[in-house]
Amino acid sequence: MAKFRYRMQNILDVKMKLESQAKIAYGIANQKYLEEQKKLQEIILRRTSYEKILKESMMGTIDVRQVSHARADVNTMKTLMRRQMIEVHKAEMQMEDARKALNEVMMERKTHEKLKEKAFEQFKAELNAEESKEIDQLVSYTYNNR
């Protein structure tokens, strides 16, 4: 019996390897995005605590030095927060690019798998046709020998 051999199997194997690499790249980009988000949340919490300290220093007896120091801390946190938002946006864009690349590679792999399935179906049809031909020959041979 004939054995099915897909002639573009090496291309399909390459596509599968590219897909696994794209999955890894997407995972790394996603992890980076989550880390940047976590840093942003920590900065927001620190900013909130500094704002609370500023409000408390404005109550009761006012120490100008303490108030100016608290304002400087809040402003520094605002600057850090803006910078971190930019980093989060960059990480998000990298993650989105990696996701698009992964989708593209997955589509290519699926296309090649469909081609392989069609080639296998064609192989089975050819095998069935060959079997039918052999059976017809056998039947006609036995009929003619009677």
pLDDT of 30 reads: 97
Q: What are phi and psi of 38, to 5 degrees?
A: -65, -45
The angle that helices 64-144 and 9-58 make with each other, rounded to 10 degrees, is: 160
pLDDT of 109 reads: 96
Residue 101 lies in a domain: yes
pLDDT of 138 reads: 85
Residue 33 lies in a domain: yes
Which residues in the chain come in under a pLDDT of 70?
Answer: 1, 146
Q: How far apart are CA 85 and CA 95, in angstroms?
A: 15
pLDDT of 62 reads: 81
Residue 145 lies in a domain: no
pLDDT of 145 reads: 75
Residue 128 lies in a domain: no
Residue 117 lies in a domain: no
pTM: 0.77
Q: How far apart are CA 44 and CA 83, in angstroms?
A: 12
pLDDT of 143 reads: 77
Residue 136 lies in a domain: no
Q: How many domains does the chain have?
A: 1
The alpha carbon of residue 79 and the mean position of all alpha carbons in its chain are separated, in whole angstroms, by: 32
pLDDT of 117 reads: 96
Q: How far apart are CA 20 and CA 72, in angstroms?
A: 48
pLDDT of 57 reads: 86
Q: What share of the chain is helix, strand, coil (3-state, %, to 5)?
A: 90, 0, 10
pLDDT of 1 reads: 64
Residue 82 lies in a domain: yes
Domain membership of residue 64 as a residue range:
9-112
> CATH number of the domain that 79 lies in?
1.10.287.620
Residue 135 lies in a domain: no
| Virtual torsion, Cα 32, 34, 40, 46, nearest 10 deg | -120
Q: What are phi and psi of 59, to 5 degrees?
A: -85, 155
pLDDT of 105 reads: 97
